[in-house]
Amino acid sequence: MSLRDRVHRGYVQGRRVRVLAEHIAELLPPRARVLDVGCGDGTLTAALALRRPDLSLHGIDVHVREVALVPVRLFDGKQIPFDEGAFDALLFVDSLHHAEDPLLLLTEAVRVSRQAVVIKDHTLDGFMAGPTLRLMDRVGNARHGVPLPFNYWTEARWRESFAQLGLHIEVWRAKLGLYPPPAGWLFDRSLHFLARLVPAAAGPGTLRR
């Protein structure tokens, strides 16, 4: 492991997992069966399990690592290998921008989820957003063999896609505080969002706890 990778793991990764787990734990419905799409080694999934023992958590990924903290099922990155309505909620944490076709995968999420889709991803907005996001992706994922197509979308495109799929944005958070200073000055900015989406017919407030 390079010095850069050691710094990333020790200085950034632990805080990121803790902060994301705290945010996401608030957004998942009670006693839900949840599928984490692109769960990696399951570190975040395991952190969620500690905070929300009422959840039934499952993971899938295009690459099953030799060491994972939760059971992970292999899938092709396009079709989610479960029946319609198999889960109460689907979770995507920085995984949609790795997909060849993020809209196709979101369509699959709508098919498989009964209640909600929770997404943490990036917005391609602001000064030097593209180069900054590509750097973050390389540092965090290249050593694991994760595909890096760099499919980043602007906030406007995310919102248009959600509307196209009939999803209502119930929660949108753009200030997540993922990185400690001074890293946060460069890597937080307007580059991240966390959203909870529900079918538009359900209306706002459906899943508030």
Class of domain 3-190: alpha beta
Q: For residue range 143-169, what is the model confidence (pLDDT) as tens digits?
A: 667 777 889 999 999 999 999 999 999
Q: For residue range 12-50, what is the model confidence (pLDDT) as tens digits?
A: 678 999 999 999 999 999 999 999 999 999 999 999 999
State the pLDDT confidence band at 209, using cuts at 50, 70 and 90. very low
Q: What is the pTM of this model?
A: 0.88
Percentage of the chain with pLDDT > 70?
Answer: 87
The Cα 9–Cα 180 span in angstroms is: 13
The Cα 41–Cα 208 span in angstroms is: 29
Distances (CA, A) of 100 to 60, 66, 92, 151, 207: 16, 24, 15, 8, 30
Q: For residue range 170-198, what is the model confidence (pLDDT) as tens digits?
A: 999 999 999 877 677 678 788 999 999 99
206 pLDDT higher than 50? no
The predicted structure's pLDDT at residue 8: 41
Q: Which one-letter amino acid corresponds to residue 148?
A: L
Q: Give the number of C-alpha atoms closer than 13 A to the C-alpha of residue 30, restricted to the C-beta side.
A: 4
**At 188, which helix (H) or strand (E)?**
none
The Cα 169–Cα 197 span in angstroms is: 5
